[in-house]
Amino acid sequence: MKFDTPATTNPIDNGKVIGHPHDRIDGKLKTTGRAPFAYERNDVVANQAYGVILGAAIAKGSIARIDTRDAEAAPGVLAVVTHKNAGKVGKAKANTVKLMGGPKIDHYDQAIAIVVAESFEQARAASHLIRVNYEAEQGAFDLAAATATAVKPKLGDSDPADSKVGDFESGFAKAAVRLDQTYTTPDQSHSAMEPMATIAAWDGDKLTIWTSNQMIDWARRDLSETFGLPKKNFRVVSAYVGGGFGSKLWIRSDAVMAALGARAAGRPIKVALARPQINNNATHRPATIQRIRIGANRDGAIQAIAHESWSGDQKGGQPETAAMQTRLLYAGADRMTAHRLATLDLPEGNAMRAPGEASGLMALEIAMDELAEALKMDPVQLRIVNDTQVDPENPKRSFSHRNLVGCLKQGAERFGWDRRSAMPGQRREGRWLVGVGMASAFRGNMAMDSGARITVGSDGQVKVETDMTDIGTGSYTVIGQTAAEMLGVPLEKVTVLLGDSDFPKSSGSGGQWGGNSSTAGVYAACMKMRAAIAKKVGASATDVVFENGQVRFQGRSVALGDAVGSAGLTVEDTIEFGKLAKTYAQATFGAHFAEVAVDAATGEIRVRRMSGVFAAGRILNPKTARSQVIGAMTMGLGAALMEESVVDPRYGYFVNHDLAEYHVPTHADVPVQDVLFLDEVDDKSSPMKAKGVGELGICGAAAAIANAVYNACGVRVRNYPLTLDKIVPYLNKA
Ligand code: MOS
């Protein structure tokens, strides 16, 4: 089904199942430990051996000599694979560097060997017996230093690296109030609970992997490119994923090394990246340096706005697109944005939850707070004054639906924003300085073609099959709800099977496109099923009503199972997104409010309340959507106060490479989180009229907290995270 004109009234609008806060249909399996994650799939193939990956101990250079003899002779060892005996191992276009290194080393902990043994312990012990001599080269690890040689990266035609409208410099020079500040965000780790893990089994030249991956079809394509075999030779299964956040958009070394190890051992094997390997072996969110200049009139109207962002990556990599939202968020006649990319020899930088906006709004929304202060204006009001209903870079293009102002107003009211003191440091409760802050939330809404297969059995049961993944987001549930709504059955009658490349190709999970896109694919397949059933009962498709497990037409009523006949019916379709995404700017919006307390002596920061109001089209399931948003707000809290992958500038690796040293918020750090979704639909986003929510909640959350810290204690921190060392020295001066 093509989707290229705005959606009209359709069966989803009935809202009997869709839009209701159903519990996750996979919830019991997950909470009782019965949802099998990749490493636990002992049932899928017999005779599994264990693989352990050895990572490079240098960041740049080459392997001069690698001696595996002792490892090969160790007890239980079945195979040791290095670049010397692996055969030809290519690089998928989507991977910036090879997932198996050697002799050339691209980054620290790049996989250089896999040891396969009868037991995990034997494999791990033997991996310590591999002796490697390196020829190390000096790498570039410091972003600030590398910006001197940064270049303009090549990005997509629709979102080029630079944009210019009007004349920024002269507009800025003329503005009554000017802000010019530079902000930094650090490297961050996705830190998903489930490590990258794969079971690999070859059958001749056909490979099946049970793995943890967000994008089944991309994984298949990338395996094909890596091993030089046709895509059809690869089956990828990823039924449950314990968090991805972008770290599993593409295959990682666990998949490639498992395939190599299994081939060498002549056995299926299972491999997981050990927690301390993940941060340097896999990808991270790249650090940024962002300069923002905004010039405004005395009434707050922005005249000129510029956002420049520098980030680094391996050669051939991509920038963190931190200035993108500044093209769309606020009005202003004279504008410019630019992204510059420095070459670094750190591990591969890549997408992490809301790539671009998450980092970009950390900077932009502090800048707006600073501008509001300079204008002596309420920060909420400043954002309202600069709202735009059209793309400010291309005023002929309007937003498909935009209610940022509604989020700001309702958020301010719910939070009690009117009780804020504009002057910092005014509210003291014992040893605590208390303050409030806010920020806008913005995240683009992307749509990806997505297919599904629907089967209705003669027993009236509905089965949905699609290679869509559920990375903890609720895909199983919203897909089930969609099929139930479309075919007029309760959710309990629907079985949802996900994450298998044998099923129709879906949108996969990424960029918060999965919920809207994959359910739209199910919608398309269900429309086809409805037509097929109508034909079967001899009615016209527009005449038939699907309700309460019955098919009603021409005054008659037939049970759904009877209508499809004894053999049942199976149909398949794909939603294909057309020009609406280009004709309209599509995005999701929100407003964050936070209250923090800062210890006047120690600088300890406690977030006391977070409140968010979001506008993201139809909310398919308020319960799973809320979970997404509070998870993302929590991640925003982590970004504000804790998260930072610390680079060792001598050896070029992330020092704090485990969950003991890479700090993320725990329950005790997270306050009450209040979430409201505005009641809206977006008829240009899909027949579901929904948009993404998985990433929106992180966007702006960190800045709201940083702004609240300033309001509490008068210390303006522009370099994330807001750790004590950046607060304490300035506290008494506040
Ligand atoms: Mo997302 S960072 O595209 O999984």
Instruction: Give residues with Cβ within 8 angstroms of 539, minimum separation 6.
Output: 553, 554
Q: How far does the centroid of ligand 1 lie from the alpha carbon of residue 291, in Å?
A: 25
Q: Are 247 and 201 in contact (CB under 8 A)?
A: no
**184, pLDDT greater than 90:** yes
Of all atoms in ligand 1, which is nearest to the CA of residue 354?
2
Report residue 421 as tokens.
Answer: 């003191």
Residue 733's pLDDT band (cuts 50, 70, 90): low
Compute the average pLDDT of residues 209-218: 98
Q: How far does the centroid of ligand 1 lie from the alpha carbon of residue 282, in Å?
A: 14
Residue 685's pLDDT band (cuts 50, 70, 90): very high
Cβ of residue 443 lying under 6 Å from some atom of ligand 1? no
Interaxial angle between packed helices 357-375 and 701-713, expressed in degrees from 0 to 180 and rounded to the nearest 10? 30
Which pLDDT score is estimated for 158? 86
Lookup result for tokens 């700001």:
408
Report residue 368 as tokens.
Answer: 């707006």
pTM: 0.97
- Per-residue pLDDT of 3-35, as tens digits, reads 999 999 999 999 999 999 999 999 999 999 999
Residue 734's pLDDT band (cuts 50, 70, 90): very low
Strands 569-577, 2-3: pairing kind: parallel
Written as one string, the DSSP assignment of 391-456 is: -TTSTTSBBSS--HHHHHHHHHHHHTGGG--SSTT-EEETTEEEEEEEEEEEEE-----EEEEEEE
Angle in degrees, CA 677, 681, 683, rounded to 5: 155
Which pLDDT score is estimated for 391? 98
The CA radius of gyration of the chain, in Å to the nearest whole number, is 27
**400, pLDDT greater than 70:** yes
- Per-residue pLDDT of 256-292, as tens digits, reads 999 999 999 999 999 999 999 999 999 999 999 999 9
For the chain, helix, strand, coil in percent to 5 are 30, 30, 45
Which pLDDT score is estimated for 22? 98
Q: Are 332 and 172 in contact (CB under 8 A)?
A: no
- Per-residue pLDDT of 294-313, as tens digits, reads 999 999 999 999 999 999 99
Residue 213's pLDDT band (cuts 50, 70, 90): very high
Of all atoms in ligand 1, which is nearest to the CA of residue 695?
1
- Per-residue pLDDT of 472-495, as tens digits, reads 999 999 999 999 999 999 999 999
- 51/267 Cα distance (integer angstroms): 11
Number of H helices, E strands in the chain: 18, 30
Q: Known catalytic residues? A: 695
Instruction: Write down all domains in the chain, each with its CATH number in brackets.
Output: 11-35+448-576 (3.30.365.10), 38-138+197-274 (3.30.365.10), 378-446+583-730 (3.30.365.10)
Q: Are 469 and 440 in contact (CB under 8 A)?
A: no
- 141/543 Cα distance (integer angstroms): 66
Closest CA to 718 of 321, 365, 341: 365
Strands 77-82, 111-117: pairing kind: antiparallel
Cβ of residue 375 lying under 6 Å from some atom of ligand 1? no
Lookup result for tokens 């209250």:
595
Q: Check whether the bond before 103 is cis (ω within 30° of 0).
A: yes
- Per-residue pLDDT of 381-391, as tens digits, reads 999 999 999 99
Lookup result for tokens 């009209």:
8
Cβ of residue 709 lying under 6 Å from some atom of ligand 1? no
Q: How far does the centroid of ligand 1 lie from the alpha carbon of residue 628, in Å?
A: 13
3-state secondary structure of 90: coil
- 106/62 Cα distance (integer angstroms): 8
Cβ of residue 510 lying under 6 Å from some atom of ligand 1? yes
pLDDT above 70 coverage of the chain, percent: 100
Q: 303 — phi, psi (to 5°)? A: -95, -40
Compute the average pLDDT of residues 673-698: 98
Compute the average pLDDT of residues 115-144: 98
Cβ of residue 692 lying under 6 Å from some atom of ligand 1? no
Which pLDDT score is estimated for 541? 87
Task: Give residue 252's Cα distance to chain centre.
Answer: 16
- 132/260 Cα distance (integer angstroms): 20
Q: Is 568 left (phi over 0), alpha (psi -120 to 50) or beta?
A: left
Written as one string, the DSSP assignment of 514-574 is: HHHHHHHHHHHHHHHHHHHHHHHHT--TTT-EEETTEEEETTEEEEHHHHH-TT-EEEEEE
Give the sheet arrangement for strand 462-465, strand by strand. 2-3, 569-577, 450-456, 462-465, 494-497
Compute the average pLDDT of residues 399-407: 98
Compute the average pLDDT of residues 460-464: 98
Provide the residue type at 528 as one letter. K
- Chain mean pLDDT for the chain: 97
Q: How far does the centroid of ligand 1 lie from the alpha carbon of residue 246, in Å?
A: 4
